Amino acid sequence: MIFLIIVFTEPRLYPKEVGNCTILTLLAIIYAMSLPEGPKFPFTPVRVAEIQIRDEFIDAWGHVTYLGFNILWERQRDAYMQTRGIGLFVILSEYKLQLNIPEDHAVRNEQLTVGDVVDFYTMAEVDGPRMNFHQSIDHRNGKVSTYKITTVLVDATTRKLSRRIPGEIAERLYLPENEVPFISEGQEFYNWNALASNPRG
């Protein structure tokens, strides 16, 4: 702070060109320091769900398709958010924001077939304007499939990227996980029509 006072009050201490550059740099630093801090958290609590695979998204050889894997991952992310009161409809209706996915990466180390019982693990990480979801499937045979997806929030009207995850959304990611019962995969986690009329569920 003393350095800032000297720079602005004693222009004789530096050449004019250097001084102008220094002043602009310092103004930029001051502006950056004035911005509100975005929430920074380690990984959230882990959601664990025991899932039995049903006969949807199955190919001719009886395996869950590539699309099916993505939908299974998505259902678990939706369930994670929804149990904490920040499902997609809440984010849209209360914050006027929508979720976009700029990046994802999957490693499928084992096939899924009808009747398989596996364990899905889901956790999230807030990183500035991004929410990264880290997910895995324990196939119960020594093999694990993993998935990481990066999501961002955009303004529902202007489509502009939100610079930070709203604090309440970040905090809600850390609410204790509700007890998760055994679920036969294919069953919806919540009623979309009911959720639209009552966002908090």
Instruction: Identify which of 130-134, 179-183, 195-199 has the greatest average pLDDT.
Output: 130-134
Phi first, then psi: give them for residue 107, nearest 5 degrees: -125, 105
Domains of the chain: 2-34 (no CATH), 47-197 (3.10.129.10)
Could you tell me which residue, 161 or 30, shows the higher pLDDT?
161
pLDDT of res. 85: 85
Q: Residue 108 — very low, low, confident or very high, per pLDDT cuts 50/70/90?
A: very high
> 122-162, pLDDT tens digit by residue?
999 898 899 999 999 999 999 999 999 999 999 999 999 99
Q: Residue 171 — very low, low, confident or very high, per pLDDT cuts 50/70/90?
A: confident
CA pair distance 98, 87, nearest whole angstrom? 11
Determine the average pLDDT of the residues in 14-33: 50
Tokens encoding 189:
């986690």
